[in-house]
Structure 1
Amino acid sequence: MPSNKNNTELVPTAHSAFTVTAPTGPAKVEYISSCELPTTFATFQLHAFFEAATGKEHLALTLGDVADGQPVLARLHSECLTGDALFSQRCDCGAQLETAMQKIAKEGRGVLLYLRQEGRGIGLLNKIHAYRLQDAGADTVEANQALGFAPDQRNYRICLPMLQHLKISSVKLMSNNPRKAAALTDLGIKVTEHIPLIIKKNPHNERYLLTKASKLGHKF
């Protein structure tokens, strides 16, 4: 068990309000509205969806005609407040989000699903607990397990109604995670190409990336 310098066990209590239990049956996601979203990369269309079972709002960014039946350059991106908004160097999330948007803008066509599944599905507060355990020596998998969670609790079933609404049935997937491609295939979405999204290592995320590869099967 990870410990601090005084050899005192650091086992925070998981925040139950943010515990995620994977639902069963068809995912129910309601389309809410769309608008333009000007960014430094391009002006995207921003689409909002609501998942009643969890109370979560999910987003899709699209560029160009994604409903023409041709494979769409795509990214499934799970929310990471610390990486996406606070520029954390502990992970590769923010850099992956930026790179994916750049690639879509360069191609002039694509989709990015922004899924509210913080901390691989355990929620923001539990992720902060997990970060504390990592500070004490645990890796990302060990920290989640110490809090009573699976290493990765995300559920990609919510992608299907979002992609169906956007009339996308075939994608060129930007990801290092084979589980995402398998999940889309199981949902009936054709993955025509698996494009790596490699981000430069730094001293703060090197172990994180190694754990992704060695324990979660990510391909770099």
Structure 2
Amino acid sequence: MSVIAIVSQKGGSGKTTLALHLAASSTQGKLPACIIDTDPQATAAAWGDWRGDFLPIVVTSPPARLGKTIERARKQDDVEIVVIDTPPHAEAAMREAIKAADLVLIPSRPRAFDLHALEGVADMLQHSGKPAFVVLNAVPSGATRQIAEATEAAKQLGLEVCPVTFGERADFHKSSAKGEVAAEIDSGGKAAKEAKKLWKWVKKQLG
């Protein structure tokens, strides 16, 4: 079983969108997945309620119980991929998620304030030894220069950048509000293709 932690100190960075689409892509690819929602706002859990009985599984857990929750997922439901969705401005939750993870993803919009928030996460990751990548999210169309500048800003902090980006796509927002993912409302759309491409890349990182 592999564990992916989605962490960011900035609210609105797209952590939950990333978590939902990775877990759904995993499940659609015949690798049963579980989303562990450690955010008190429980956005991922609400999505799971709207989704009903359709996979992936969504469970909630306080950060202090994260290890036990992962172990329970390991023993039940044949789960092969765990995706941890963390709250912003919560170092304890992020540290626990990083400690449990095989791969850490840090979503960030390619904007100055968002990129500045990477500094705190970079500090946390410095001695973790965990592979970690910034995933640029909500990227405007044709923003080649913004991507280049964001990539350089991340590198200055010692962070690598995922080669796959998520654009500012309506399908990400519309699908989440219905308990779905982008591929379920338009399988040929740009959002669905980006999610599929990201999952393919993540699988390669997990080996």
TM normalised by structure 1 equals: 0.31
Q: Which has the larger radius of gyration?
A: 1
The answer to which structure has the higher strand fraction is 1
TM normalised by structure 2 equals: 0.32
The answer to which structure has the higher helix fraction is 2
